[in-house]
């Protein structure tokens, strides 16, 4: 439920409100939802002067209306996610109205509390979703108020006599009633659909028009949980479930009917509900799923909020933004959380570009004596990458602490320290999951290979082909006295001379 921060008539809405007091007629036409940013410090006079939302996402017809008293109406607003490809947080709602013979204006605006917006999920055909709002709104003279015809795209309890009436109609004692034994067949579901169609033909909706197809779907959804309870009482339900689900992947009419119930996450005990409960909004859950979805040409405010909140809603490993011709792909969530001499406490996503950004040397000569921090790459070579990345993710690059090597002798790191990191080369552990060429303890000496990057990025674990981009690119590890580690363009782990100019493919975190 939306927690309201502001609910105000606009300046134009107040004028229209006054006309109804003098006998004028008014019609509510539609409502919009948006994801504009509000800080919680806005003054009322700023809001009432608005003529549109800050960031409109979708428009809908007014779902229903009822009179509370002579000066107040109750609007039912149902927003579906049909056609929404990317989820977002609903922060603002606009209600539009007009004089019966005049132009439409923004009548009222509702703003959510900045820290508790409501999530609108992307559309899923198997389980479409919706958000419902009820707004008690001042109208002057309620008897002079109507809603625009044909606007309702989904039924609410305001538009049918009651949900109980629908139940009674479906399961009446008449010869056309639905027997619970038929609910595990496709014919049974079609019977329900036909009866819903009959019901809406008889009762209609507020404006008296025949509902759209989506209305019938909504009615099915509205009684779905109750129908499921009826199915559960079927004596052979467990046997039927086993028969439908264990069919070697071959669809049957009966299996389709039962699977439709199992695919609805709103039904208590359904398989879809159990699966959705496994996918918690945590870094661990989202690190476990590779999706690879295009997320847009910029990171939206809702996406940044999903990251900074630690919920990572609708973000998964392999998802990417294309900015400036570069695919920036999510490699991990909260990879550095709780690491560093100064604790990294901010939730974040590790980002890796698909392609290398340019070519550069590790050093002008074939030496590794300064290790990574002492290299020309660290001192100068990453400047271009930092500028490009900071421009693409302006103000959202995480600065965190990592341990880096700063001295080496005989091809082995001898010293290191804690440094601020924003954009850096990756190490072998991040790419492969273990060291390959960097020196290890030989029983007498322990190289200074301390690091907080102790595991492979989930991006490369789930999809190893993402390691290879057909160019040879640098890693920051020393391989021997004149070589640094690299990933070869032919697909194998490698190393290259420090003075060779090969590709730069750094990683960084956004928050």
pLDDT more than 70, % of the chain: 71
> Are the C-beta atoms of residues 333 and 286 closer than 8 Å to each other?
yes
**Of the ranges 93-107, 137-151, 334-348, the best mean pLDDT one:** 334-348
pLDDT at 276: 62
Question: Does position 204 have pLDDT exceeding 60, yes or no?
Answer: no
Nearest to 50 by CA among 5, 94, 116: 94
pLDDT at 101: 83
How does residue 503 score in pLDDT terms, banded at 50, 70 and 90?
Answer: very high
Question: Does position 162 have pLDDT exceeding 80, yes or no?
Answer: no
> Are the C-beta atoms of residues 282 and 209 closer than 8 Å to each other?
no
How does residue 474 score in pLDDT terms, banded at 50, 70 and 90?
Answer: very high
C-alpha to C-alpha distance for 393 and 349, rounded to whole angstroms = 12
pLDDT at 180: 41
Name the phi and psi angles at 366, rounded to 5.
-85, 75
Global pTM value: 0.52
pLDDT at 198: 53
Q: How far is CA 232 from CA 180, 238, 255, in A?
A: 9, 8, 16
SS (H, E, C) 231-294: HHCCCCHHHHHHHHHCCCCCCCHHHHHHHHHHCCCCCCCCHHHHHHHHCCCCHHHHHCCECCCE
Segment 284-290 shows an average pLDDT of 90
Q: What is the mean pLDDT of the chain?
A: 79
Own/partner pairs for 413-420, CB < 8 Å, 24+ apart? 413/371, 413/438, 413/439, 413/447, 413/448, 413/449, 413/478, 414/371, 414/447, 414/448, 415/371, 415/448, 416/371, 416/373, 416/448, 416/450, 417/373, 418/340, 418/341, 418/342, 419/373
Question: Does position 55 have pLDDT exceeding 70, yes or no?
Answer: yes
How does residue 150 score in pLDDT terms, banded at 50, 70 and 90?
Answer: very low
C-alpha to C-alpha distance for 235 and 270, rounded to whole angstroms = 18
pLDDT-wise least confident of 209-213, 219-223, 432-436? 209-213
Q: Which residue has the tokens 């009222």?
A: 108
Question: Does position 479 have pLDDT exceeding 80, yes or no?
Answer: yes
C-alpha to C-alpha distance for 249 and 259, rounded to whole angstroms = 12
pLDDT tens sequence across 351-375: 999 999 999 999 999 999 999 999 9
Segment 397-416 shows an average pLDDT of 95
> Are the C-beta atoms of residues 457 and 470 closer than 8 Å to each other?
no
Segment 404-423 shows an average pLDDT of 95
pLDDT at 166: 46
How does residue 181 score in pLDDT terms, banded at 50, 70 and 90?
Answer: very low
């Amino acid at each position: 439920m939306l927690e309201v921060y502001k609910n105000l008539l606009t300046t134009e809405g107040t004028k229209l409100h006054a006309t109804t007091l003098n006998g004028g007629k008014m019609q509510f036409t539609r409502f919009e939802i948006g994801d504009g940013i509000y800080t919680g410090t806005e003054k009322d006079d700023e809001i009432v002067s608005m003529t549109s939302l800050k960031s409109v996402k979708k428009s809908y017809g007014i779902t229903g209306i009822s009179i509370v008293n002579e000066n107040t109406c109750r609007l039912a607003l149902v927003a579906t996610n049909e056609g929404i490809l990317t989820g977002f947080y609903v922060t603002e709602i606009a209600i539009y109205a007009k004089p019966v013979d005049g132009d439409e204006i923004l009548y009222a605006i509702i703003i959510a509390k900045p820290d508790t917006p409501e999530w609108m999920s992307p559309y899923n055909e198997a389980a479409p979703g919706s958000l419902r709002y009820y707004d008690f709104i001042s109208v002057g003279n309620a008897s002079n108020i109507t809603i625009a015809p044909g606007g309702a795209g989904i039924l609410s309890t305001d538009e049918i006599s009651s949900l109980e009436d629908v139940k009674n109609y479906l399961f009446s004692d008449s010869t056309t009633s639905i027997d619970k034994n038929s609910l595990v067949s496709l014919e049974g579901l079609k019977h329900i659909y036909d009866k819903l169609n009959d019901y809406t033909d008889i009762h209609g909706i507020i404006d008296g028009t025949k509902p759209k197809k989506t209305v019938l779907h909504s009615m099915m959804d509205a009684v779905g949980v109750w129908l499921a309870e009826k199915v559960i009482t079927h004596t052979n339900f467990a046997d039927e479930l086993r028969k439908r689900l264990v069919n070697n992947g071959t669809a049957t009419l009966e299996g389709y009917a039962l699977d439709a119930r199992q695919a609805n996450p709103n039904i208590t005990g359904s398989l879809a509900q159990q699966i959705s409960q496994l996918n918690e909004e945590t870094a661990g859950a989202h690190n476990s799923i590779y999706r690879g979805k295009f997320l847009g040409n910029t990171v939206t405010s809702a996406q940044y909020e999903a990251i900074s909140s630690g919920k990572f809603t609708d973000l998964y490993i392999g998802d990417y933004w294309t900015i400036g011709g570069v695919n920036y792909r999510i490699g991990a969530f909260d990879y550095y959380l709780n690491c560093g001499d100064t604790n990294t406490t901010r939730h974040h996503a590790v980002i890796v570009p698909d392609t290398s950004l340019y070519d550069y040397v590790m050093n002008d000569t074939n030496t590794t004596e300064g290790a990574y921090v002492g290299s020309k790459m660290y001192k100068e070579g990453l400047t271009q990458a930092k500028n490009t990345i900071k421009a693409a993710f302006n103000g959202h690059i995480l600065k965190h602490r990592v341990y880096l090597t700063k001295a080496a002798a005989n091809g082995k790191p001898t010293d290191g320290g804690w440094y601020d990191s924003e954009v850096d080369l990756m190490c072998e552990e991040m790419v492969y999951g273990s060291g390959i060429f960097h020196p290890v303890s030989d029983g007498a000496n322990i190289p200074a290979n301390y690091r907080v990057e102790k595991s492979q990025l989930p991006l490369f674990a789930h999809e190893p082909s993402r390691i290879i981009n057909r160019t040879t690119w640098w890693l920051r590890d020393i391989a021997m006295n004149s070589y640094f580690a690299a990933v070869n363009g032919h697909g194998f782990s490698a190393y290259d001379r420090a003075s060779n100019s090969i590709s730069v493919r750094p990683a960084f975190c956004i928050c």
